[in-house]
Structure 1
Amino acid sequence: MSLLRFVTVEGNKRRKTSSTNEDDVNNEDSPLEASAKAGIIEKKGDLFSCPENESLAHCISEDCAMGKGIAVIFKKKFGGIQELKSQGVKTGGVAVLKRKDRFIYYLITKVRYFNKPTYDSLTKSLHAMKTHCQQNNVKHISMPRIGCGLDGLSWDKVSKILTDLFSGSGITITVYTL
């Protein structure tokens, strides 16, 4: 069984912030070993500085308004609004754009831009993304603290959802905060 723990990255230093196994906390892994085992990594920095072969993910509404927050940057960098709308994805699903060597995941967590997501809609969207990743051999996803900015969800709860859902999947998620 794979263990999943959060690793906080600051510059080149990594610090374990939680673990599913007490013995793990006391083991000193090299930074590469720690991040390889972690599955989910928290990193301070600009999300768009991640390697260009890593897929990206963020939350939007069914109406694909993307008028505030990090969604505005996704819209400017990757376009494809009509392509996203034509997919007709409903709340709890994931719309996907393919850009060069990576996928851009749009987690549909609410009906309209002014609505708020629920933990259930976020979980369903993440599950849909995980399924797409497994079908397309995606191993690395970078994302912001999804649902926790303008959408107002709790990072403690969202990080637990990510941990529970992606544990043992072989998919590494890097979560960026400024």
Structure 2
Amino acid sequence: MINFITGNLLESNAECLINTVNCEGYMGKGIAYQFKLKYPNNNRDYVKACKSGKLKVGKLHYFKEDSKIIVNFPTKDKWRQKSKIEYIIDGMDSLVNLLPTLKVKSIAIPPLGCGNGGLEWNDVKSLIVEKLSKIKDEYDFYIYEPSSGYSTVLPKEQPKLNVSSLVLMEIKLNLDRFNSLRLQKTAYFINMFLGETYFSFKKHKYGPYDNAIPIISKNIKAFQNYYGTKNTREAYEIAFRTIISEQSKNKLAHIQPAIYRACMYVNEVKTDKELECISTILFLIENNILNNKEDIIKSFKDWSEDKASRFSEEDIKQGLEYLIKTNIVSKTLVGYEINK
């Protein structure tokens, strides 16, 4: 029988739970991240399957943990890509063939490839019904329709933090105003003041961006949930005692002056728009030879149509002047350069 329901799939009584994954070994968003927290052994086995090349689109990986059979169902190849309907078609064919082997009678299926995957639920729903139609009398299928019914899952194991986690927590503790943009840009200025590439930044919609930072932030949140604290200071102290070694203590001590300097600098920038502007200019100077203001304005406007529409030439000129006034950037005979 096929049953359509809403709610939290992770609380299902079904013997078999379907988890939507990519083929890169990264459970970082949505229901996959909740699975990672609740079923850590499954996650480890899934990562091995990805690294060995055994898990590919159209193939399934399954693992038993806490009396549940978890089937990891690739709805994406790369984690940053969108899902494709043909991936769901191939995966459903594989699932129908796999079920007799699993010896289960009840299966919970999420909205495959929808949400972060970008597929339309009505299309996926019709496909699931079609693929299960021949076996619907042999099993109880619980199809979870899209909803906001997923509650926070407490990790079974202490999430692993590192020095970078402590750095991000120190940023939060020292910023007057905190949001994801200010976190990213403060980390970028840490690189500048440190004089080395501690974080790895790339071009992004709102300026320089490190993809690892939201992942680390998510681990910090899971760490706080594990210890039952929402207080960043308390979480920092627990993490420091838990992960610190002589080597990591020395590493943190090396970075701390740059953390405080970066936080002080960002706290002086009044608006997020101004912060985005100056960090974008700085990223352009860091990665290009720019001889004059016109070069900077052109490079800034060429970043994206969105940036070109949100920032005027005057905004960019003022951002450059601010960087010069605050002694971050200098004008030389060969162009603009970052002060060491």
Q: Counterpart amino acid of 2:46? A: L
Instruction: State the distance in 1 between where 2:11 and 2:132 align.
Output: 23
Structure 2 counterpart SS, 1:116: coil
Q: Are positions 1:123 and 2:85 aligned together?
A: no
Structure 2 counterpart SS, 1:45: coil
Partner of 1:141: 107
Matched ranges for 1:15-94 at <5 A: 39-51=1-13, 53-79=14-40, 80-87=42-49, 88-94=54-60
> Retained in 1: the 8 A contact 2:75–2:112?
no
Q: Are positions 1:155 and 2:117 aligned together?
A: no
Instruction: State the distance in 2 between where 1:84 and 1:46 align.
Output: 22
Q: Where is the helix percentage greater, Structure 1 or Structure 2?
A: 2
Structure 1 counterpart SS, 2:115: coil
- Report the Cα offset of residue 122 of structure 1: 1.1
Which one scores higher on RCO, CA 8 angstroms, separation ≥ 6? 1
Q: CA RMSD in A?
A: 1.6
- Report the Cα offset of residue 101 of structure 1: 3.0
Extract unaligned runs of 5+ from structure 1: 1-38
Deviations 1:110-150 (A, max 9, x none): 22110112111111112212211122222211122121111
Instruction: State the distance in 2 between where 1:130 and 1:73 align.
Output: 25
> Retained in 2: the 8 A contact 1:69–1:150?
yes
> Retained in 2: the 8 A contact 1:59–1:107?
yes
Q: Are positions 1:174 and 2:142 aligned together?
A: yes
Partner of 2:63: 97
Structure 2 counterpart SS, 1:106: strand
Structure 2 counterpart SS, 1:110: coil
- Report the Cα offset of residue 76 of structure 1: 0.5
Instruction: State the distance in 1 between where 2:8 and 2:76 align.
Output: 25
> Retained in 2: the 8 A contact 1:93–1:108?
yes
Aligned residues: 139
TM-score (norm 2): 0.39
TM-score (norm 1): 0.71
> Retained in 1: the 8 A contact 2:114–2:120?
yes
Instruction: State the distance in 2 between where 1:93 and 1:99 align.
Output: 20
Instruction: State the distance in 2 between where 1:162 and 1:67 align.
Output: 25
Q: Counterpart amino acid of 1:159? A: K
Q: Percent identity?
A: 24
Extract unaligned runs of 5+ from structure 2: 150-340
- Report the Cα offset of residue 70 of structure 1: 1.1
Structure possessing the higher radius of gyration over alpha carbons: 2
Instruction: State the distance in 1 between where 2:87 and 2:44 align.
Output: 23
Deviations 1:39-64 (A, max 9, x none): 2211122212211x521002110012
> Retained in 2: the 8 A contact 1:58–1:144?
yes
Instruction: State the distance in 1 between where 2:46 and 2:10 align.
Output: 20
- Report the Cα offset of residue 151 of structure 1: 0.4
Q: Counterpart amino acid of 2:18? A: A
